[in-house]
A and B are shown apart, each in its own frame.
Chain A
Amino acid sequence: MPTPVEIIQAWRERLARAEGAAYCDALQEAAGDRVLCGALQEVMPELAHVWQRRIDRRRLLQLLGASLAMSGAAGCSRAPREKLVPYTAMPEGLVPGIPQTWATALSRGGSYAHGVLVKTHMGRPIKVEGNPRHPASRGASDAFSQAAPLELFDPERSRACTRRGAIVSSSAVLRALAAVRDRWSARAGRGLAVLTGSTSSPTLQRQVHALKSQLPEARWYVHEPIDRSSVIEGAALAFGRPAEPIYDFTRARVVVALDADFLDAMPGHLSYARAFADARRALDRHDSVNRLYAAQSTATLVGARADHRLSVKATQVNGLARRLAVLLGVIDDGTSSHDQEHERWLRLAAADLQAHQGEALVLCGDHQPAAVHVLVHAINEKLGNFGRTIRLIDPVADASRSNGDLRALCARMAGGAVDALFMLDVNPVYSAQADLPFAELLSRVPFALHSGLYQDETAGASEWHVPAQHAFETWSDVRAFDGSASIVQPVIAPLYPGWSLPQWLALIMKGEPGDAMGIVRGTWRALWAPARDRDFERRWHESLASGVVDKSQSASLTTALDRNWQAHVQRSVPSEGLELRFTADASVWDGRYANSAWLQELPRPLTSLTWGNALLISSALARELRVVNGDHVSVEHAGHELTAPVWIMPTDYPRHTLTLALGYGRTRAGEIGTDVGVSAYRLRTSAAPWLGTNVKVRAVEGHSALAAVQLHHEMHGRDLARQMTLDGFTAGARASHSEGNRLPSLYPEIDRHGRYAWGMTIDLNACIGCGVCTIACQAENNIPAVGKAQVLLGREMHWIRVDSNRVGDRGEETVFQPVPCMQCERAPCEYVCPVEASVHDSEGLNVQVYNRCIGTRDCSQNCPYKVRRFNWLDYNGYEREQPLAAPAAVMNPDVTVRSRGVMEKCTYCVQRISRARIQSKIEERTIREEEVIPACAAACPSHAIVFGDLLQSDQEIHRWRGSARHYVLLEELGTRPRTTYLAALRNSKPLDDETLKS
């Protein structure tokens, strides 16, 4: 009698052979085949629940998908609790129960990677950490990489090849491909077009080059909704060659950011954030602190952290740059800024820049037109910043070989010159600019193939679709913002059929995918040109192990300003009327991450909105339109109209600017991402992709509830998130009112005889409010996403929230404050719990014992910080299926998955402490500082969170707590928190009149 696996194998082969209608029949038959079902059931008991119900066709497909996965990743599936399923052959180096870590790289959007370390548990990638050895990461990571494991195991990922929506075998795709290949290869590739996102992959560049030389008539187009074209163009105009500037904030004493969000939007933001934070760390009052001038055309993190903020229209930035250039004597031009406030801001900045030549930095946003970049380059040149705080490198995502962007492709398609179109890892049908009739043109292409992670809009519109492989499943390579390359290695065998990008290029050229690793190795063999084979293998393995290719950073270009650079400078013409800014979204970027519940529920910086975007407008405009948060308005721009709910921004938001984040309003994103928010692409034109001018907006009928997690940003005179002026700080002021010494208490001192005393300190001066800590915590601690409806009820589950508090006289300044559990030594939550589910341990942790908790919620009632979270409903899908519940595969096996009716909260990542403690016991030593780093602290880009043992005086946390900025939140309550804070600093330039006059 054949074994289950043999049965399934037989079916797989049979289905592989079948075609179109025959295939469907085969499926129907399979669905009825009890033998097969029995076999599947035996092979995949974890899917047992599926078998309780009638098996419909869709479910069978799921199972087949899963069984395909089995073939690749035997042993990766999780054993049911009551069974023990050992390997048949133990993988090398694997110790059951001990996670392994692999170095690879992930890129936000398409290009610009940062190195990551992927923690796999019995073969399952469950957590991503930054790679300390990677220049773009320095140990930090962004929200998207934190959500990567969830994306990998997303049950809604595309699982099978389809033709016009009907499932076909991959061999069928190959056959069809062979047919069209003959056509174009006969004509040197005429009619063949490949559309990809912008890419920094050396391998892909090499392959494209090969493709072009093999098929001269073939076309390669690049469609990246969020690109840096104007940066590169600006450099080209200024220096006569395309280039990208990269910055060194550690050396910059004065930073002038002209509508430039280098903490969030720019490539390299992680390392920039770290460098910027380090440059104003100032634990001691003698430490130096940089000064940040920020002009912003929308609400940005940089603006929030700025010492001198100026809110302007995006089109006014050119004027600012001009005026600044004039004040610094870069160009001469009589016109002075008409606006008093602008003039004052500019003069202050100019004076500061003058005073700090060579250690200053002026930068402007990627979305600003090339002309502004030219001006900024000229200013930096004049100040002698090049080579010191800023350097130029060749563009990381080299598009020189491409035949243009989507616009060019559309033109060619309209000409009917495209008869085979490959859309690889792009979703143009969704993200095409409003003025490009891409979908319509696509329908006329004889052979259109889409490869992507999801059955998305483009998949729906194109004849063929093939699942793409996740970055964790495949071989490839990428570059970081500074050019340093990483080799992307798989950490799990592919779950579904499909080919990686390098394989696709191989398919197009040679007709067979080949093996991805071989292709990538080929690239590096060529690049390194090693003398002996042994050297290559050594370098290869070093690169894999360290996660970054040694000495692969791009060299600085030494170029002087082009002679007639001034020709490219434009007169400043601020537009009349309203302006519409398009921004990349902090949670879904350009829309590709839309189907991730974690990301959707991650509060967006500053607005704290979840589950969707909204049109950000100034309070003044809101008054004009007579709208409140959530009311619908109709936005009209360049003949396109869109209805969107509004979100009213605080006073310092530019009055005449509307902001709409890209990436929402997906129609085929999946169960989670579809119909969330509105699609900004429907207003975006290829002429002005980043800014709409002369925008009309009017209030219309309709209101939609917007799920913001923080409803009050003012502190009502309560001294919670504290901020000091630099002058006060240097003069010796302290943030803490109790001058560091403990407040008296009626209770006796509790003697805790622990070996360790864990504590955490959070530097509000370093926190940039990006919220990565929140999602990192979610990924580490199996925190469920609850969905928009529950968030609206105030039931989000995040263990660490990032408050943005309005401070200053007019509440115009922002101080971000991450708030995890304070782990109070005198915890109010503990004495009210009737069952001792909330207790203290001798290491100072305020422990929540889930399995003892009965859910009276008295602890939360009595928590002054309100950091406890409750499982109001069965969020993890124990009792009935929950669409938002994360698949079991991503769960961290070291952390209990909480059931309904249980209170939970930050544990200082007790599982990490335990692991370290046990190891230290075995090795008979004390735990070392670097051994225990909570998920939030590990992920934080700006190193704003430090964790350590208060009993070991040599640890960093002691230096932090020694600072005069150190204070305790709500100290007067006498809760004695173990989590404390460092007050933020404002380094505003003293206003002396001569600076203003000069």
Chain B
Amino acid sequence: MSAERVSVLKPGETYASATDQISALVLTEPTRRTWVLFFVTSAALAVVYLYAITAVFAIGVGLMGINIPVAWGWPLVNVVWWIGIGHAGTLISAILLLLRQPWRTSINRFAEAMTIFAAGIAGMFPFIHLGRPWYFYFLLPYPNTMTLWPQWRSPLVWDFFAISTYILVSILFWYQGLIPDLATLRDRARTRRTQLIYGFLALGWRGSIRHWRRYETVYLLLAGLATPLVVSVHSVISLDFAVTIVPGYHSTIFPPYFVAGALLSGFCMVITIAVPLRRAFRLEPYITERHFDVMAKVMLSAGMVVIYSYAVELFTAWYSGDPFERGMLVNRALGPHATLFWIMLAVNAGVLQLLWLKRVRTSIPMLFTLAIVINTAMWIERYVIVITSTQRDYMPSAWGTVSETHYDWALLLGSLGLFFFLMCLFIRFLPVISIHEVRELIHEQEEQRS
């Protein structure tokens, strides 16, 4: 047990060394070429994203590959996917905190950042997808001259509140965790400007006992608040589909199915970010093989739930004997998008199994590729769910399918661009690893030694 705790960090780290190195990333380190490269490309993609959004707002959602019967297209796929990615952060920060998992410490900061950016981007897609986005506020319960209110039976309204709450809480949680580190940066900042900026953001943190006591209480409280959200958000999203009568949507397994899927893709993204980060900024001491090993295990367990859900869908369709349910599955397996369906199965059910091997879990390159592959497959999974269900539902005479347009691609890649753009900024201006929590960890380790 103790050995485990120790191995979370490389031995030999001291308060000073940790503080120096991590804060140095923000304050003293010169801008690296790799960072610039990343920054510029992602910024370019972000611009594409903005362009696509503008075009869709100005000309209409008809620019995207959607029609009757497939009235929900890529944007909806992206919502589900991004929200999923947005999951890992809160899980790590909140649930693992409550579970007293020491290994969360060195990854929670950028995982939370990732959460906020991903959730934010996810939150944008429903509006991009609206026919008349300029009337989005009809979703809000506000006293209007039409004496009309949102319709609470609609899962889309639940969505609206679920996502906004999630984003709000995640931001609070993240920011609160930042405060002591912002203070550290303030104190170590060289120029007056940075001092002022960080000073302002640190909200006058002095690190007094009183501060710390309040900090701990609130942090725990927020963790408690965030924990149910981790489960609720994606459950609510899944209800958008589950409450309909569309074969392929209408399924009781959806909430756990979606949450598990979310964790899977979420941790994929954490790994995808952690690996280059660790390499680029020499964070090996803080993000160790142990972290990757544990994250891989989480992926594996989440993945198993997903596989179970696949199985349940198949079984229900067969067992119900409902021609429409069966037709839906036949369509997925043999219909216009069969290839995607099989890729999804091959990766999420097959390739995932590699994680049983310790060798794979601890080999960074393999894990990295695996994470990216699986995350792609997870996007495909959402595609299969969202699009191939209404494509061929009840009346064959109304069957039809659509193919994506440039705008669909622009919006997907663009959103990725925006995400990494924000990540780059975060890496440059805020400590990617929670300094004070690492100190805490070091402290614990030393206690164990003595």
Q: How far is the CB of A42 from chain B (nearest CB, A)?
A: 33
Are the C-beta atoms of B245 and A903 separated by less than 8 Å? no
Q: How far is the CB of B173 from chain A (nearest CB, A)?
A: 28
Choose among A794, A817, A873 the residue that contacts B68 (Cβ–Cβ < 8 A). Answer: A794
B246 on the interface (CB 8 Å rule)? Answer: yes
A794/B397 in contact, CB under 8 A? no
Residue numbers in B under 8 Å from A864 (CB-CB): 245-246, 393-395
Residue of A nearest to B396 (CB): A712
Contact of B67 among A717, A835, A852, A872 (CB under 8 A): A872
Residue A730, interface by CB 8 Å: no
| Interface residue? B224 (CB, 8 A) | no
Asked if B355 is at the interface of the complex by the 8 Å CB criterion, the answer is no
* Of B21-29, B146-154, B263-271, B286-294, the one touching chain A: B146-154
Find A901's partner among B131, B153, B245 (CB 8 Å cutoff). Answer: B131
**Contact A865 B131, CB 8 Å, known A828-B245, A855-B61, A872-B60:** no
Which interface residue of B246, B394, B402 has the most chain A CB atoms within 10 A? B394
- Interface code B55-72, partner A: CB below 8 Å = 1, 0 otherwise? 000011110011111111
Measured CB to CB, the closest approach of chain B to A714, in angstroms, equals 6
| B396 interface neighbour in A714, A856, A901, A903, Cβ under 8 Å | A714
Residue of B nearest to A804 (CB): B397
**Mask of A777-805 contacts with B, CB within 8 angstroms, 1/0:** 00000000000001001110000010101
Any B CB within 8 A of the CB of A868: yes
Contact across chains for B60 and A901 when beta carbons are under 8 A apart: yes
A852-B138, A866-B398 known; A795-B67 Cβ under 8 A:
yes
Instruction: Choose from A720, A832, A853, A857 the contact partner of B154 (Cβ within 8 Å).
Output: A832
Compute how far the CA of A7 lies from the CA of B314 in the bound complex, rounded to whole angstroms: 78
Whether A831 touches B61, Cβ cut-off 8 Å, given contacts A864-B245, A865-B398, A970-B394, is no
8 Å CB contact of B399 from A712, A871, A903: A712
In the complex, A206 has a CB within 8 A of chain B = no
Which residue in A805, A817, A835, A872 is a CB contact (below 8 Å) of B139? A835
Is residue B390 contacting chain A, with contact meaning CB distance below 8 A?
A: yes
Residues in chain A near residue B220, CB distance under 8 A? none
Whether A299 sits at the interface, judged by CB under 8 Å, is no
For chain B, the bracket of interface size reads 35 or more
Within 8 Å of chain B (Cβ to Cβ): is A887?
Answer: no
Q: Are A866 and B68 in contact (CB under 8 A)?
A: yes
List, in ascending order, chain A residues with CB within 8 A of B138's CB: 834-835, 852, 854
Given contacts A861-B246, A873-B59, A901-B130, contact A834 B154 (CB under 8 A): yes
Q: Which residues of A contact B246 (CB under 8 A)?
A: 861-862, 864
A832 touches B394 (CB 8 A): no
Q: Residues 821-840 of chain A: 1 if any B CB is under 8 Å from the residue's CB, otherwise 0?
A: 00000001001111110000
Contact between chains at A862 and B245 (CB < 8 Å)? yes
Partner of B395, one of A865, A871, A872: A865
Query: How far in angstroms is the closest Cβ of chain B from A563?
Result: 55
| Contact in complex: B157, A834 (CB < 8 Å) | yes
Within 8 A of B (CB), among A274-315: none
Determine whether the beta carbon of A710 is less than 8 Å from that of B397: yes
Report Cα–Cα, A720/B434, bound state, in Å.
Answer: 62
Q: Is A997 an interface residue (CB 8 A)?
A: no
On whether the beta carbons of A715 and B398 are closer than 8 Å, the reply is no
User: What is the bound-complex CA distance between A177 and B27, given in angstroms?
Assistant: 94
Q: What's the least CB distance linking B55 to chain A, in Å?
A: 12
Q: What 0/1 pattern do residues 980 to 998 of A give for CB contact below 8 A with B?
A: 0000000000000000000
- Please provide the chain A residues from 707 to 745 with a CB less than 8 Å away from any CB of chain B in the complex: 710-718, 720
A69 CA to B72 CA in the complex, in Å? 46
**B 383-402 binary contact with A (CB < 8 Å = 1; else 0):** 00000001001111111111
How far is the CB of B132 from the nearest CB of chain A, in Å?
Answer: 4
Q: Measured between C-beta atoms, what is the minimum distance from B356 to chain A in Å?
A: 39
How long is the Cα–Cα vector from A602 to B70 in the complex, in angstroms? 22
Would you call A900 an interface residue if the criterion is a C-beta within 8 Å of the partner chain's C-beta atoms? yes
Complex Cα gap A860–B138 (Å): 19
User: Taking CB as reference atom, which chain B residue is nearest A717?
Assistant: B323
Cβ proximity bits A73-113 to B, threshold 8 Å, 1 near / 0 not:
00000000000000000000000000000000000000000
In the bound assembly, the distance between CA atoms of A717 and B322 in angstroms comes to: 12
A854 touches B131 (CB 8 A): yes
Chain A residues within 8 Å of chain B by Cβ, number: 53
B48 CB, min distance to chain A CBs, angstroms: 22
Known pairs A803-B397, A854-B132, A861-B246; A872 contacts B69 (CB<8 A): no
Q: Is B244 an interface residue (CB 8 A)?
A: yes
Q: SS class of chain A's interface: helix, strand, loop or mixed?
A: loop
Residue of A nearest to B250 (CB): A862
Whether A832 and B155, one on each chain, are in contact in the complex, defined by CB atoms closer than 8 angstroms, is yes
Contacts of A148 in B (CB 8 A): none
**Residue A819 lies at the interface, judged by CB distance under 8 Å to chain B:** yes
User: Does A973 touch B at the CB level, under 8 Å?
Assistant: yes
Closest residue to B330 on the A side, CB-wise?
A: A716
Tell me which of B62, B133, B155 has the highest count of chain A C-beta atoms within 10 A of its own C-beta: B62
> Does the CB pair B400–A794 fall under 8 Å?
yes
Chain A residues in 8 Å Cβ range of B245: 828, 862, 864, 973
Q: A869 near B: Cβ within 8 Å?
A: yes
Nearest CB of chain B from residue A831's CB, rounded to whole Å? 4
Q: How far is the CA of A502 from the CA of B123 in the complex (A)?
A: 68
| A712 and B151 within 8 A (CB) | no
Q: Are A795 and B68 in contact (CB under 8 A)?
A: yes
At the interface, yes or no: B243 with Cβ under 8 Å from chain A? Answer: yes
Please determine whether B67 and A866 come into contact, CB atoms closer than 8 angstroms: no
- Asked whether A874 is an interface residue with its Cβ less than 8 Å from the other chain, the reply is yes
Residues of A within 8 A of B399 (CB): 711-712
- In the bound complex, how far is the Cα of B149 from the Cα of A709, in angstroms? 37
Known contacts A803-B397, A865-B398; A860 and B71 CB within 8 A of each other: yes
B175 proximal to A (CB < 8 A): no
Set of chain B residues within 8 Å of A860, measured between Cβ atoms: 68-69, 71
Residue B308 at the chain A interface, CB threshold 8 Å: no
Q: Which of B66, B69, B154 gathers the greatest number of chain A CB atoms within 10 Å? A: B154
> How far, in Å, is B45 (CB) from chain A's closest CB?
26
Write the nearest CB–CB distance from A67 to chain B, whole angstroms.
Answer: 34
| Residues of chain A from 355 to 383 with CB closer than 8 A to chain B in the complex | none
Cβ-neighbour of A854 out of B69, B136, B398 (below 8 A): B136
Closest Cβ–Cβ distance, residue A583 to chain B (whole Å): 24
Instruction: Assess the A835–B61 pair: CB atoms within 8 A.
Output: no
Q: For the complex, what is the distance from the CA of A801 to the CA of B396, rounded to whole Å?
A: 13
- Residue numbers in B under 8 Å from A852 (CB-CB): 138, 148
A394-452 residues at the B interface, CB under 8 angstroms: none
Task: Looking at the assembled complex, report how far the CB atom of B57 sits from the nearest CB atom of chain A, in whole angstroms.
Answer: 10
- Output the nearest chain A residue to B244 by Cβ-Cβ distance: A862
Query: Residues of B contacting A833 with CB < 8 Å?
Result: 151, 154
Q: Which of B131, B149, B323, B397 contacts A903 (CB 8 A)?
A: B131
Contact call B62/A872, Cβ cutoff below 8 A: yes
Closest to B322 in A: A972
Set of chain A residues within 8 Å of B153, measured between Cβ atoms = 831-832
B416: CB under 8 A from chain A? no
| Complex interface: chain B residues within 8 A of A900 (CB) | 60, 131-132
Say whether B50 faces chain A, with CB atoms less than 8 Å apart.
Answer: no
Nearest chain A CB to B77 CB, angstrom units? 14
For A712, the chain B residues whose CB sits under 8 A away are 396-397, 399
CA distance A270 to B194 in the complex (A): 85
Tell me, yes or no, whether B327 is within 8 Å of chain A by CB. Answer: yes
Q: A819-B398, A856-B156, A864-B246 are in contact. List 10 more A-B contacts (CB 8 A).
A: A711-B400, A713-B396, A717-B323, A801-B398, A803-B397, A805-B397, A858-B244, A866-B69, A871-B131, A873-B59
> Could you name 30 residue pairs across A and B whose Cβ atoms are closer than 8 Å?
A710-B397, A717-B323, A718-B323, A720-B396, A720-B397, A794-B69, A794-B70, A794-B401, A794-B402, A803-B395, A819-B395, A831-B154, A832-B153, A835-B138, A854-B139, A855-B61, A855-B130, A856-B131, A856-B156, A858-B72, A862-B245, A864-B395, A865-B395, A865-B398, A866-B395, A869-B68, A872-B62, A901-B60, A901-B133, A903-B131
Nearest 7 pairs of A and B residues by beta carbon = A855-B131, A901-B131, A872-B62, A866-B398, A794-B67, A803-B397, A873-B62
